[in-house]
Structure 1
Amino acid sequence: MALIRCEDVSIGYEGQTVVRDLDFSIGAGDYLCIVGENGSGKSTLVKSLLGLKNVEKGRIIYGDGLKKNEIGYLPQQTDTQKDFPASVYEVVLSGRLNSRGLKPFYTNADKKAAEEKLELLGIRDLAKQCYRELSGGQKQRALLARALCATKTMLLLDEPVTGLDPIVTAEFYQLIRRINRESGIAVVMVSHDIESAVEDASHILHLQEKMLFFGTAEEYRKSRIGRRFLEGADKAENGGERHA
């Protein structure tokens, strides 16, 4: 059974339907990139998958023992997040909050998980540093470590490289690929970077008020909608010129 299955799902925002008639699934170990233009419903869908927003129609089914509060979530960065007055270790450890239940204190297992994620993301030496003093790339690594503390099964990442320079962006993408391939954690990432999405992901979901495409990255590359958008990205990157 799939980790998440969307059946004929429509989702609204402020009384208006944003995206409709979604029918797709996410399996264990998948790397799904959700692409589309601004306002196409990508972030709204992510919030619905997390249970933060109700669907207007259809249903979202969770399988293989997955619970909504066991999904690791890295939201779009906000000014409040950037200026969070806590140590890197405290930020990462807070990813264990959902698993604590009614326990008032973090357990040794919680602390061990935070230390492991700091090591995995290469920021163990930053553990005692104030989060708001970090660079943009370091902050995203800390927030990714926090999200990983919350899950063993699925990560949801909403535009995680926005505002990062190209080198840091490439390093972050490499981290996501490694986590997906080595740990088997399913990754669902909202992205405007269609070329990188097709290169890294196993599956593509392309939205534009409805589902324009869902399938493997290879199928997307060969599809009419995929070719059109990939050619558009190539033209933009090369000043309107297309490679022969």
Structure 2
Amino acid sequence: MKLITCENLTLGYEGKAILSGLNFTVNSGDYLCIVGENGSGKSTLMKTLLHLQSPMAGTITMGDGLKINEIGYLPQQTALQRDFPASVEEIVMSGFLGRMGLRPFYTKAEKKEARELMEKTRITDLAARCYRELSGGQQQRVLLTRALCATRKILLLDEPVSGLDPVATADMYQIISELNKEDHVTIIMISHDIGEVANYASHVLHIGHRLFFGTKEEYMNSKIGKHLAVAGEEAKA
């Protein structure tokens, strides 16, 4: 079932186009990785999918009854956000605010759902801790859980492992994969790690000077995919 269809998108800001001729589809259950050079428009695309800005041209169509408030979003953190003085449980529960309307209190069902989601993301033991005291990996798992409270349909993740150590990175990727495979949460993730793209993605959207959209296998066998894989290996050497 199609969740998002983008046709002939032109993206940009302040009247300047940075990306054009973009076409891709996200189906329910997909794990789409968005890759490309720095400044190619990945974050701009993410903001456009979230309706935080409008495309300069083209259309974005939501399917399967998907509403904009049913899209969970995990942005890159700022230094100020990392120092936020609230408990883990308070931050997780705030993910429900978008669907509460004028209701001032969380329901028993929402509290139960939050506890279940904290178990999935391995942060149950952190519930009473202050967010600002956590490690970077723990903070990212808290924010991922908050995004899940907003929706169980689709998550947009903007470089969710940026700045994390290898152990925290592996944990984060594993949790995201489990949410996709076991809970059938659709994932759209910006990533620079071609190795993890190869491990987890079902589809790849490459944007920049050259555009590509297709399955992971098609991408890894394409000229652009092979070039990026080689560049990634050289960067690690």
TM-score class, shorter:
over 0.9
Q: Give the corresponding residue for 1:143.
A: 143
Per the TM alignment, residue 31 of structure 1 is displaced from its structure 2 partner at its CA by 0.1
Identify unmatched segments of 5+ residues in structure 1. 239-244
Asked if 2 retains the 8 angstrom alpha-carbon contact of 1:198 and 1:204, the reply is: no
| Alignment-derived partner of residue 5 in structure 2 | 5
Q: 1:235: Cα distance to partner?
A: 1.7
Between the aligned partners of 1:206 and 1:199, the Cα distance in structure 2 is 16
* 1:222 is aligned to 2:182: no
Matches within 5 A, 1:1-244: 1-208=1-208, 212-238=211-237
The CA deviation at 1:175 is: 0.8
**TM-score normalised to the size of structure 1?**
0.94
Q: What residue in structure 2 maps to residue 242 of structure 1?
A: none
Report the Cα distance in structure 2 between the residues aligned to 1:14 and 1:161, rounded to whole angstroms.
Answer: 30
Indicate conservation of the 8 Å contact 1:95/1:148, yes or no. yes
Give per-residue Cα distances to partners, 1:158-207, cap 9 Å, x unaligned.
01101101121111111111110000010000011122112210000001
TM-score (norm 2): 0.97
CA RMSD of aligned residues (A): 1.0
For 1:113, give the aligned amino acid.
E
Equivalent position amino acid for 2:39 in 1:
G
State which drifts further: 102-111 or 64-73. 102-111
**What displacement does 1:14 show?**
2.6
- How far apart are residue 231 of structure 1 and its match? 1.1
Distance 1:47 1:109 in 2: 31
Quick check: 1:161–1:169 contact (8 Å CA) kept in 2? yes
Take 2:89 and 2:8, find their aligned partners in 1: how far apart are those partners?
A: 41
Matched-pair contact (CA < 8 Å) for 2:22–2:211: no
- Counterpart Cα distance in 2 of 1:197 and 1:13: 28
Name the SS of the counterpart of 2:152 in structure 1. coil
Of 184-193 and 194-203, the range deviating more from structure 2: 194-203
1:22 Cα deviation (Å)?
Answer: 0.9
Report the Cα offset of residue 113 of structure 1.
Answer: 1.6
> What SS does the aligned partner of 2:2 have?
coil
CA offset at residue 80 of structure 1? 1.9
SS in 2 for 1:95: helix
Give the drift of 1:15: 2.4
Distance 2:18 2:103 in 1: 39
Which runs of 4 or more aligned residues in structure 1 lie more than 3 Å from their structure 2 counterparts after TM superposition?
A: none
State the alpha-carbon separation in 2 of the partners of residues 214 and 222 from structure 1: 13
Cα offsets for 1:42-85 (capped at 9, x unmatched): 01101111111111101100000111111110001111210111
Deviates more, 1:10-19 or 1:146-155: 10-19
The CA distance in 2 between the partners of 1:93 and 1:126, in whole Å, is 14
**CA–CA distance in structure 2, aligned partners of residues 102 and 19 of structure 1:** 39
In the alignment of these two chains, the number of paired residues is: 237
Show the counterpart of 1:241: none
